[in-house]
Structure 1
Amino acid sequence: MKTFTEHDSLQRYSLAGSTMGTRYTAVLYAASGFDSSAVTTDLQQAVDKVDQQMSTWKPDSELMRLNGADCGQWLAVSDELIWVLSSALLISKESEGAFEIGVGALVSACGFGPQAPSLNLPGRQAGAGDVLEIDPDNSRVRKHAPITLDLNGIAKGFAVDQLARCLDRHAIESYLVGIDGEMRASGVKADSRDWCVALEKPIKGRREVLGSLELSNTSIATSGDYRHWRERDGVVFSHTMDPKTGAPLASDLASVSVLCTSCMYADAWATALLVQGLERGRLMAKAQGLSAIFVVRDGAELREVTVGL
């Protein structure tokens, strides 16, 4: 394949498709005559594959087969699921349990899964790291106790990384790919300027821009309480779960955005830092060498606190 350079006449292409209940987007620069249909097909296949591996909304996904497997039963799974599960357990350990994929029962009880909400919260449960055994050499995994896994805090970021890998295979050097607020940028635009992305205000029910960031060869992911939430009898339930309390997260910290090379890691760490709260989250971001933006509700005002930027 040809590698496009600054000496070629570059044109802007905008591609998109459906995935994970929302849409992916890919904006890229390539030479005139670029076959966008072939790349669109590959991009769609990439996100469809992740959805089939890690969705909690598809009863036949690899993740749901694992959730339904008997304890002690080895289950053969894809290398991609092995990688995401292993990464999730590592980040859980590094975040002192703030990032936890074993909260599927809690997520469902609060109405953020395919089942009807029960609000019968299961309480604090064992972490996935205590229950899950991963055998990467043989691409298999098993549970040693009942647990319901949920990868919604990491799978979308992984899917963005897969979109990026797809464009890399097509020798495209300048692009911005994203799924909702999870985005990954490569290179610069045709005018040699970095990619510019908006940071959203964490306001329920409407979308406003808080600020903007310039990205090149990096990813950004945001976790917050303003996009997905439920209200019942005047009580608001966040879609982010606090593993330490076994209940939806309740905090003045409205959102956290994390920047790092991998969108998967940015996605998971944004959740972890949100769960930790501002003070512990700031210390943890510094200890991990992460760049992060914390947005705190201070009465009716929003206050930004940055680390590593």
Structure 2
Amino acid sequence: MKKLHKISCLLLLLIIPTFLISCETNDEPVEKETYMMGTIMNFKIYGKNAGTATALVLKRISNIESKMSVNIKTSEISKLNAKAGISGQKLSEDTYSVIEKSVQYSKLTGGALDATIEPIVGLWGIGTDKERLPSKTEIDDKLKLVNYKDIVLDKKNSTVKLKRTNQAIDLGAIAKGYTADEVKKVLLNNKISSAIINLGGNVYAIGKNAKGKDWNVGIQNPLSTRGEYLGTISVTDKSIVTSGNYERFFIKDGIRYHHIFDPKTGYPAQQSLISTTIVSDKSVDGDALSTSTYIMGLDKGLKLVESIKGVEAIFVTKDKKVYVTPGLKDNFKLTSKGFTYEKGR
């Protein structure tokens, strides 16, 4: 993309935390863990409306998943993919806006982000019981179907069409970010001013923590087991999204094949990066950028992030070097041994 340990500073790891449901009071948060959108999600919500807000959050996530999941045959995405090369599909405002945003990022990243990657994703099957190493012939064949320029947007009629038969859209690189932003809207609409949410690696820190301080968020160490962090940052009202090759992968003949595919090659991205973390106001931006910068590599990724106002990044390379953009240099604290903090570039 991507266990909450009760330690002094409420450290929140960018991994899957473990929450317990607690009673709702003005002081104690409502804590909830659930499995949706193919991942474990966790919520820690403060306030007298926390219980009601939590229920509404789960309903909103379920609604988005029912529209955008390629694994649900009745979803809008599945219907759109089934009509590829034939006709367009009228979409809800949710699905249309996410596809439109994906196309915008495809243009911005030179195709590093490409929602039409689904034929490649399905071919490899990473993260499923059908994962395998395809032949180069198979990959080259499917790669012909990958081209975001074949996504035809009709904003006036909220319709999207894929130009060629067998093309398919997968919004896995951006949908959770959009969902996190929608969760934030639900919470604010229910007068929740303090919460921390984790949608399987997409973290959003809303307001201050229970002590009135910034949330202290831990960044997963990409070379260690879940729960061991690379360093920490302190944030308020920010999205933190991490992508890495440690999330979903398989190993064959000593080679690790992960789930972040390069749309230009059809293979897992093989640049120098092993982890990218994006800090932004909107999670949809963080989601799109964490994936695309991982594919683009260190130099291009840093250049892109530094060109976007209000977006910061933490990049980790194969040789254990950590690079941060200027806005995080006084915030990020490297705590894991064996890594080198590169302050200049």
TM over 0.5: yes
Contact 2:84–2:168 (Cα < 8 Å) also in 1: no
Q: Does 1:109 align with 2:123?
A: yes
- Which of 141, 149, 172 aligns to 2:160? It is 141
Contact 1:57–1:114 (Cα < 8 Å) also in 2: no
Letter in 1 for 2:162: K
Q: Does 1:15 align with 2:32?
A: yes
User: 2:54 is paired with a residue of what secondary structure?
Assistant: helix
- Which of 244, 248, 262 aligns to 1:228? It is 248
User: 1:242 is paired with a residue of what secondary structure?
Assistant: coil
Q: Distance between the aligned counterparts of 1:228 and 1:158, measured in 2?
A: 21
Letter in 2 for 1:15: K
Q: Distance between the aligned counterparts of 1:11 and 1:204, measured in 2?
A: 32
Q: Does 1:24 align with 2:41?
A: yes
Q: Does 1:218 align with 2:232?
A: no
Q: Distance between the aligned counterparts of 1:27 and 1:117, measured in 2?
A: 34
What percent identity do the matched residue pairs reach? 25
Q: Which moved more, 1:141-150 or 1:270-279?
A: 141-150
Contact 2:119–2:145 (Cα < 8 Å) also in 1: no
- Which of 99, 115, 130 aligns to 1:85? It is 99
Aligned residues: 296
- Which of 190, 199, 202 aligns to 2:219? It is 199
Q: Which moved more, 1:134-143 or 1:256-265?
A: 134-143
Q: Distance between the aligned counterparts of 1:77 and 1:58, measured in 2?
A: 15
Deviation at 1:206, TM superposition (A): 4.5
Name the counterpart of 2:193: 173
Contact 1:28–1:174 (Cα < 8 Å) also in 2: yes
Deviation at 1:296, TM superposition (A): 1.0
Letter in 2 for 1:28: I
CA RMSD of aligned residues (A): 2.1
Q: Distance between the aligned counterparts of 1:129 and 1:167, measured in 2?
A: 34
Name the counterpart of 1:258: 278
Name the counterpart of 2:334: none
Letter in 2 for 1:200: Q
Letter in 2 for 1:184: Y
- Which of 127, 151, 163 aligns to 2:183? It is 163
Contact 1:238–1:250 (Cα < 8 Å) also in 2: no
Consecutive unaligned residues in structure 2, runs of 5 or more: 1-24, 329-345
- Which of 290, 294, 300 aligns to 2:315? It is 294
1:92–1:115 Cα change, 3 Å = farther
Name the counterpart of 1:304: 322
Name the counterpart of 2:53: 39
1:193–1:151 Cα change, 3 Å = same
1:114–1:134 Cα change, 3 Å = farther
Give 4+ residue runs of structure 1 displaced > 6 Å after superposition.
Answer: none
Larger fraction in strand: 1
Name the counterpart of 1:4: none
Q: Which moved more, 1:78-87 or 1:105-114?
A: 105-114
Deviation at 1:129, TM superposition (A): 3.1
- Which of 107, 110, 127 aligns to 1:96? It is 110
Q: Distance between the aligned counterparts of 1:288 and 1:245, measured in 2?
A: 27
Letter in 1 for 2:255: V
1:113–1:138 Cα change, 3 Å = farther
Contact 1:16–1:40 (Cα < 8 Å) also in 2: no
Deviation at 1:72, TM superposition (A): 3.9
What TM-score does the superposition give when structure 1 sets the normalisation length? 0.89
Deviation at 1:236, TM superposition (A): 1.9
Q: Distance between the aligned counterparts of 2:146 and 2:70, measured in 1?
A: 18
Q: Distance between the aligned counterparts of 1:252 and 1:20, measured in 2?
A: 29
Q: Distance between the aligned counterparts of 1:112 and 1:167, measured in 2?
A: 34
Q: Does 1:66 align with 2:80?
A: yes
User: 2:205 is paired with a residue of what secondary structure?
Assistant: strand
Q: Distance between the aligned counterparts of 1:70 and 1:84, measured in 2?
A: 18
Consecutive unaligned residues in structure 1, runs of 5 or more: 1-7
Contact 1:134–1:141 (Cα < 8 Å) also in 2: yes
